[in-house]
Structure 1
Amino acid sequence: MSNEKTLKNLMDAFSGESQANRKYLAFAKKAEAEGKKNAAKLFRAAADAETLHALKEFEIAGKINSTAENLKDGKLGETYEYESMYPGFIKEAEEEGQKDAIRIFTYAMKAEQVHAGLYQDALDNIDQEEEVFYYLCPICGNIEKSVPEKCGICGVPGSKFIKY
């Protein structure tokens, strides 16, 4: 008996749950901005629940491999985004005069290129025991291995970066 339909359903569910997580986080942020603390908490709890669902579905689908394979997969995904996906999105946004979309797509494209490099670096140094810290720009998604003076993509001050 084939599990083709179940695998497709697991991946569709993973996609839907992942999108729901982000949507609910966006709703929580808006509720907080409006001073609606209880709604914000509910949206955050629901977002975490959707993440639990998505992670289990992804696991059951057999999509989690060794760390080395996962790093290669991450690099491939990021490379596709910065080489193929975002350039097309930017072109279409330019044709439609959508300046906000052009800006966010450009930020994402540049950040994805950095991410791909970081995945390769992590793969090249997979057995390194010295702890590495990463710093995330909260505006464009750029990740650095040290706090910059300012973000090389969007220019936000390095003091705003989030440490991981």
Structure 2
Amino acid sequence: MPGPGPGRPGRWSAPTPYTAARALQAQTLADLATAMKGGVYAHAAYGLFAAEAERAGHPDIGRLFRTTAQTELNEHLHEAVTLVNAVGTNAANLHEAINGETYEHQVVYRGFADQARQDGDLEAAELFSEIAADEGRHRDAFRTALTAVTTGRGTVPAPPKADVVAVPAGLPKVKAARTKTNLDTAMHGEALAYTKYLLFAAHAKETGNPALARLWEGTAEVELQEHFAEEAVRAGLVRSTRDNLDKAITGKRNEATTVYPGFAEQATSVGDTAAARFFRGTAADGARHAAAFQKALDQLR
């Protein structure tokens, strides 16, 4: 399976429904949601870190970041969404996406734009406004697709084309702490939308609707290659390869020693044993990834 870095949707298969998903306790579901959001953000960020390592003449480090990104997307996320039974019918997936895109269009990005203007981050405000408009267009396309899927009338819209944005290493291009926080929130949301839409695309293909699959995949590309990338530029997400490794090591160590062991303990205490196994396995992977990143950093010095 080819590694799905930024700009390359992975070849997904829809997850097998986990029959006990409805019995999962609320806290376990919340912890799985946190795990998914963190994992997909790491996938997107590591793809950018890989590109920077390659630009800086460190192809081995680039491969390490890409391999780890692939694990986040094709293993961890796939296991988590199976546990929560996150993929529904084509109609249900469209309803979920319509609700999400509507909220981003009407509330999230408009609110972020207003706050950025108040704080003097005018270029960030313009970016947030542009993305709000894009999300409105995505919502409208999904609404048209829903009509075609549920009534047989009309056709599924053609997929949008992403305006690919390069993300060089650099400092943040915003000044207000609130804008920086909003950019981080936005990037997590875009990374999650990208991966969910790939899962929805896989389901559409498996149920014989290639036009809908293309719409999901095209929209996913916009979320990652355009929206996430533009936000990453403004946030200064990518730094030197040494700094990127430091950031990855800190994150993975925290996951391995604190976050996922805590989630596993909580899941075990309420009898969610499958989720607990997932959290323990992800913690172990985090420790291995942290060690690999540390080795790469030591060799770089």
66-75 or 2-11, which deviates more = 2-11
Question: The residue matched to 2:60 in structure 1 has which SS?
Answer: helix
Contact conserved, 2:104 with 2:132, CA < 8 A, in 1?
yes
Q: TM-score, normalised by structure 1?
A: 0.74
Retained in 1: the 8 A contact 2:39–2:73?
yes
CA distance, structure 2, for counterparts of residue 131 and residue 88 of structure 1: 30
**Mapped pair 1:37 → 2:59:** yes
Relative to 1, partners in 2 of residues 1:139 and 1:92: Cα closer, same or farther, differing over 3 Å? farther
Alignment TM-score, normalising by the size of structure 2? 0.42
The separation in 2 between residues aligned to 1:139 and 1:102, in whole angstroms, is 20
Contact 2:50 2:61 in 1 (8 A): yes
Q: Does 1:124 align with 2:147?
A: yes
Q: Which residue of 2 aligns with 1:17?
A: 39
Q: Which structure would you say has the larger Rg?
A: 2
Q: Deviations over 1:94-118 (max 9, x none)?
A: 1111133223212211111111111
CA distance in 1, matches of 2:68, 2:121: 32
Question: Which residue of structure 1 lines up, in the alignment, with residue 138 of structure 2?
Answer: 115
Determine if the alignment matches structure 1 residue 137 to structure 2 residue 159: no
Q: Percent sequence identity over matched residues?
A: 26
Higher-RCO chain (CA-CA 8 Å, sequence separation at least 6): 2
Q: Partner letter of residue 79 of structure 2? A: K
- Higher helix fraction: Structure 1 or Structure 2? 2
* Aligned-partner Cα distance in 1 for 2:164–2:121: 19
Q: Is the 8 A contact 2:148 2:156 kept in 1?
A: no
Q: For the residues of structure 2 that align with 1:38 and 1:133, how far apart are their CA atoms? A: 38
Q: Tell me which stretches of 4 or more aligned residues in structure 1 moved more than 4 Å.
A: 130-133
Specify every segment of 5 or more residues in structure 2 that has no aligned partner in the other structure, as ranges. Answer: 1-22, 166-189, 191-214, 216-301
Which deviates more, 27-36 or 49-58? 27-36
Q: Number of paired residues?
A: 142
Amino acid corresponding to residue 159 of structure 2 in structure 1: Y
Change (3 A) 1:22 1:70: same
Q: How does 1:36-115 map to 2 (within 5 A)?
A: 36-52=58-74, 53-115=76-138
Gaps of 5+ in 1: 146-164
